[in-house]
Amino acid sequence: MTFSADEEFARQLDREDALAGFRDRFHIPTGANGKPLIYFVGNSLGLMPKATRQAVDQELDDWSRLAVDAHFDAATPWYSYHETLREPAARLVGALPNEVVCMNSLTVNLHLLMVTFYRPTKGRAKILMEEPAFPSDTYAIKSQIAHHGYDPEESLILAKPRSGELALHQEDIEGIIEKQGDEIALVLFAGVNFFTGQLFDISRLTSLAQKQGCMVGIDLAHAAGNVPLALHDWNVDFAVWCSYKYLNSGPGAAAGAFVHERHARNRELPRFAGWWGNDPATRFRMQLEPDFVPVPSADAWQLSNPSILAMAPLRSSLAIFDEAGGMSALRAKSLRLTGYFQFLLQQASSEVFTVITPPEPNEHGCQLSILVHERGKELFERLEAAGVKCDFREPNVIRVAPTPLYNTFHEVWRCAQILARHR
Ligand SMILES: *Cc1c(COP(=O)(O)O)cnc(C)c1O
């Protein structure tokens, strides 16, 4: 696609955008001047869909009206509430419905699935992850390694950027897997890296790692709702994600977990068990059923009766993804929106900043990460003052994530104007 840096061209792209109407489904915060903010932090906390208030109110109403009977008599019975999320969530990550469950929060799910899929042995105790990684993932991994009696210093392998670079080379990751694969118990990678916005080739990583006998887990925190995924076909062993970033389900919303069918059906796998993972047919026999009978699906990893108030927002937010035509339609717009941003930043030909996100469309999602060589904090403050919400990561990276559901080409144009003027 050929772009132009003219303001009118940005407006033309908005007029031609078939998904433009979805912006109106969201509450957009306003700045001090009463105008809507340019909200480019959907990678951190997605905007609230207008339909969400009613979805949450419904559960409060059912609680007030029915109390305990809402488990079975609510408009959406609480007993099987999570099942209403299974199919829309499965579509988003490219899974079969029985491979997906919405529960807990991301780091909790990471731990629960590592209990099953990180089974270190003397010769094969290592975990491979990428650097830079999100701290919660690093803490979870190191504590799991230590929990099994191994030394995180020895057993955690980091795939690092080359010197002077910030994004990884896929071939470098593959080199580690080829060389050290027989010592690696688990490859635990992000789908999209939170810092650089780099999208990894999950399919290739998975098949290479599995050839070496490793398990493969993917953290989709920055990938779910951002890029198309095909977890089942890629044969990923397990995956986890949160729902408050690109999925717009609100702070602390129920997170997601994927367990590939070939494991999900296996009732012999070691796991931490709780009553909500037990066969629902016998769950309420209570003390009469002391032996855990796991549901033969991802549901078996559930522990507690779920937070209905943390799941209600998923119903309204995931429905929007389906209405918009799913991830392929959203990705098509996203590539245009972020591609336009890349173009404008290139036109600025600034020596003051460098986009560290890989430029190839198959190596990034919505987000561009901009390394500012001089006075980065000042530039960030200028953006804030102009009503552009983005974020600053120490020491000097500004992350900007235009999302296809609620951002416009003209917003991207306005943001790029400010960046281009920084000298
Ligand atoms: C956002 C994010 C988290 C947050 O974890 P919570 O358990 O949801 O608080 C963890 N890991 C990654 C990679 C993230 O991007």
Please tell me the predicted confidence (pLDDT) of residue 290.
Answer: 80
Q: Which of 43, 44, 106, 227 to mutate to test the pocket of ligand 1 (most atoms within 8 A of CB)?
A: 106
Amino acid letter for position 204: R
- If you take atom 10 of ligand 1, which residue's CA is the nearest one? 136
Q: Which atom of ligand 1 is nearest to the CA of 137?
A: 11
- If you take atom 8 of ligand 1, which residue's CA is the nearest one? 106
Establish whether residue 59 lines the binding site of ligand 1, counting it when its CB lies within 6 angstroms of any ligand atom. no
Q: Which atom of ligand 1 is nearest to the CA of 109?
A: 7
Mind listing the pLDDT tens digit for each residue in 240-279? 999 999 999 999 999 999 999 999 999 999 999 999 999 8
- If you take atom 15 of ligand 1, which residue's CA is the nearest one? 221
Please tell me the predicted confidence (pLDDT) of residue 284.
Answer: 73
Mind listing the pLDDT tens digit for each residue in 137-166? 999 999 999 999 999 999 999 999 999 999
Establish whether residue 344 lines the binding site of ligand 1, counting it when its CB lies within 6 angstroms of any ligand atom. no
Angle between helices 135-147 and 106-117 (to 10 degrees): 30
Establish whether residue 342 lines the binding site of ligand 1, counting it when its CB lies within 6 angstroms of any ligand atom. no
Among candidates 214, 188, 177, 226, which has minimal Cα distance to 110? Answer: 188
Please tell me the predicted confidence (pLDDT) of residue 93.
Answer: 98
Q: Which of 45, 220, 242, 307 to mutate to test the pocket of ligand 1 (most atoms within 8 A of CB)?
A: 242
Task: State the average pLDDT over residues 176-194.
Answer: 98
Distance 404 CA to ligand 1 centre (A): 22
Element (H, E) at 190: strand 184-190
The answer to whether 70 touches 46, Cβ cutoff 8 Å, is no
Please tell me the predicted confidence (pLDDT) of residue 233.
Answer: 98
Task: State the average pLDDT over residues 81-97.
Answer: 97
The answer to whether 320 touches 25, Cβ cutoff 8 Å, is yes
Domains and CATH numbers, the chain: 7-36+325-420 (3.90.1150.10), 57-322 (3.40.640.10)
Distance 68 CA to ligand 1 centre (A): 33
Q: Which atom of ligand 1 is nearest to the CA of 194?
A: 15
Please tell me the predicted confidence (pLDDT) of residue 347.
Answer: 92
pLDDT > 80? residue 176: yes
Distance 166 CA to ligand 1 centre (A): 20
Residue 339 pLDDT grade (very low, low, confident, very high; cuts 50, 70, 90): very high
Among candidates 265, 186, 232, which has minimal Cα distance to 89? Answer: 232
- Enter the DSSP assignment of 224: T
Distance 190 CA to ligand 1 centre (A): 11
- If you take atom 2 of ligand 1, which residue's CA is the nearest one? 221
Mind listing the pLDDT tens digit for each residue in 10-20? 999 999 999 99
Distance 137 CA to ligand 1 centre (A): 7
Tokens of 281: 């047919």
pLDDT > 90? residue 331: yes
Task: State the average pLDDT over residues 94-121.
Answer: 98
Chain mean pLDDT for the chain: 96
pLDDT > 80? residue 423: no
Task: State the average pLDDT over residues 53-58.
Answer: 98
Element (H, E) at 314: helix 308-323
- If you take atom 1 of ligand 1, which residue's CA is the nearest one? 221
Please tell me the predicted confidence (pLDDT) of residue 281.
Answer: 85
pLDDT > 90? residue 395: no
Establish whether residue 130 lines the binding site of ligand 1, counting it when its CB lies within 6 angstroms of any ligand atom. no
